[in-house]
């Protein structure tokens, strides 16, 4: 689906519901805390398919593939070196299997590479671009409907990602940043700066995901809305977790705590709404009910 088709898709429904977290939900279902979720794409696809089905049941119009870390650098770290094509292809298939005949879209998730670009790190922009291109090619060949470059924090990496993706396919692209210092990313980027720097690219949607708190994410949403005319993807986390005595991350924000903010998010310009870390299918169902209700 190209940019124009995706914008029409959004306009037809006006407000779309995406899905919730991948990592924290798979961990709740037995994924080892030290293990990459992508390992389960190959070893436990049933669990991922079930999570997709739970989000579909909750009302998702868009499902993200379990490929946040399915780039060559992170996969190597996860013990899956040279499996970029296999993991991304299989992850798209798993989402399709969950959707069946439904009209829900499959969005290929692409998270940060896990390596800093020069001058802060060692990675050349050209190599970053190549890694994103490789992942995007696999996702698009496998039949992803759109692509989501997500949880970004560095403008230069985001630019390399967009350029890489757009050399290999013409799918609609969402580019989403995590403002996890509150109202700036860990590299000090604000939503306004993000919108200005990315204006030169053919992006369908700009987004905010993960972050720090619902309060800070709302401020980011309002700022981004005043900085761009593009539809906004909004997928906040359920606040930051506290670690319990078992070493597990516990998210205190309940489905009702999150859902009560949905009308405010819509008024503030969010067009595609979901949740990031800590948002369960129950959170999504509560969010979707608010979207349907408005």
| Chain residues that interact with Zn ion, rule: CB under 5 A | 210, 237, 276-277
Cβ distance to Zn ion smaller for residue 78 or 210: 210
Cβ distance to Zn ion smaller for residue 142 or 277: 277
List the alpha helices (DSSP H) in the chain.
3-13, 23-28, 37-43, 45-58, 72-77, 84-99, 125-141, 155-168, 191-198, 214-227, 255-259, 262-267, 281-293
Q: Which residues of 36-56 are buried (b: 16+ CB within 10 A; e: fewer)?
A: bbbbbbeebbebbbbbbbbbb
Cβ distance to Zn ion smaller for residue 144 or 277: 277
Nearest distance from residue 276's CB to Zn ion, in Å? 3
Q: In whole angstroms, how far apart are CA 57 and each of 210, 280, 285?
A: 22, 12, 8
Q: Cα separation of 236 and 215, whole Å?
A: 10
Nearest distance from residue 68's CB to Zn ion, in Å? 9
Nearest distance from residue 237's CB to Zn ion, in Å? 5
Cβ distance to Zn ion smaller for residue 133 or 276: 276
The DSSP H or E segment spanning 176 is: strand 173-177
Nearest distance from residue 114's CB to Zn ion, in Å? 15
- Contact criterion met (CB below 8 Å) for 63 and 97: no
Cβ distance to Zn ion smaller for residue 56 or 276: 276
Nearest distance from residue 282's CB to Zn ion, in Å? 17
């Amino acid at each position: 689906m190209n940019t124009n088709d995706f914008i029409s898709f959004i306009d037809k429904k006006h407000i779309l519901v995406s899905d919730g977290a991948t990592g924290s939900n798979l961990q709740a279902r037995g994924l080892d805390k030290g293990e990459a979720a992508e390992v389960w794409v190959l070893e436990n696809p049933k669990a991922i398919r079930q999570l997709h089905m739970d989000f579909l049941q909750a009302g998702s119009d868009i499902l993200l593939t379990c490929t946040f870390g399915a780039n060559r650098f992170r996969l190597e770290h996860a013990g899956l070196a040279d499996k970029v094509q296999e993991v991304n292809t299989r992850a798209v298939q798993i989402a399709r299997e969950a959707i069946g005949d439904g009209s829900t879209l499959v969005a290929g998730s692409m998270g940060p590479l896990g390596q800093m670009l020069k001058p802060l790190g060692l990675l050349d922009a050209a190599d970053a671009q190549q890694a994103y291109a490789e992942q995007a090619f696999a996702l698009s060949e496998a039949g992803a409907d759109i692509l989501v470059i997500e949880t970004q924090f560095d403008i230069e990496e985001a630019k390399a990602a967009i350029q890489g993706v757009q050399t290999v396919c013409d799918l609609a692209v969402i580019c989403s940043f995590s403002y996890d210092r509150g109202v700036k990313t860990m590299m000090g980027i604000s939503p306004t700066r993000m919108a200005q720097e990315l204006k030169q690219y053919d992006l369908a949607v700009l987004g905010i995901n993960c972050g720090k708190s619902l309060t800070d994410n709302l401020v980011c949403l309002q700022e981004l809305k005043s900085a761009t005319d593009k539809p906004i993807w909004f997928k906040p986390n359920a606040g930051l977790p506290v670690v319990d005595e078992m070493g597990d991350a516990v998210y205190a924000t309940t489905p009702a705590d999150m859902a009560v903010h949905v009308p405010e998010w819509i008024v503030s310009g969010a067009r595609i709404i979901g949740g990031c870390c800590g948002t369960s299918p129950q959170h999504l169902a509560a969010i979707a009910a608010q979207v349907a209700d408005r």
